[in-house]
Structure 1
Amino acid sequence: MPTDAESACFEAGIKFGSLYHQFAGTPVSPKSAESLGRAMEESIENQPYCVDVDVDVRTDRIAEVLASQSAEYTELTGRFIDVEMRVEYEGVTVRTRMEMDGDYPRMKLVAVEA
């Protein structure tokens, strides 16, 4: 049987997988970034054990991409979002973060607190 801490970490991983793969490819622009970030937060916070999600849609990075193309939007990828999440399961709090690690959006544990 997994420990409560292991189960809490598993729950955090499920939430990140859902967040990333549900929204990857969504059209995004600097104008829609804030509302998209809120929708992502609210969507994931509906899931069991998830108590807080903070999504920062990086309009600075979006603007850089848009400066080199004619379209007024781009597709959401990990390079455009920084995410922090808190999951609580059976008395264990898991804090996680997703941020770019080179060219890869790395989802990682920040803390596991019993």
Structure 2
Amino acid sequence: MSTDTAPTDAEAACFEAGIKFGSLYHQFAGTPVSPDTAPSLAAAMADSIENQPHCREVTVDVRTDELEAALAESTADYTELTGRFLEVEIVVDYEGCEVVTRMEMEDGYPLMRLESVRSRE
């Protein structure tokens, strides 16, 4: 006897948000970035992820203070993009369910988390 059930709209919306974060992080990790290129890279990241289904809004902020601190310890004019340089918010709208997710540094780790799940109905 099977106890399988179809996922709820809220569960599907959360899954969609996770897909967006996985794409964002792993597609852009390692990209060369400098304080001069950070704004255009952030815009490209947001635009790229917003193309995906059910994605309503993406906000990417490059933590330029952290970026500049990393470059102060380096002889190069750029570094590799990692989660420690990013703050991201992704909003997914799936079948009347809005999911808000965030990634920001917490205890030295770029933590991705679910902020809220709301029904628009």
Q: Pick the aligned partner of 2:84 from 74, 79, 85.
A: 79
The structure with the largest alpha-carbon Rg is 2
Q: Number of paired residues? A: 114
Q: 1:4 is matched by which residue type in structure 2?
A: D
TM-score of the pair, normalised by structure 1: 0.99
Tell whether 2:53 aligns with 1:53. Answer: no
Matching of residues 29-40 of structure 1 within 5 Å: 29-40=34-45
Q: Which runs of 5+ in 2 are unaligned?
A: 1-5
The answer for the alignment partner of 1:16 in structure 2 is: 21
Whole-angstrom CA distance in 2 between matches of 1:111 and 1:4? 14
Match of 2:99 among 85, 94, 97: 94
Query: How large is the Cα RMSD of the aligned pairs?
Result: 0.5
Question: Hey, which bits of structure 1, 4+ residues long, moved more than 6 A?
Answer: none
TM-score with structure 2 setting the length: 0.93
What fraction of aligned residue pairs are identical, expressed as a percent?
66
**SS of the counterpart of 1:85?**
strand
Residues 1:26 and 2:31 aligned together: yes
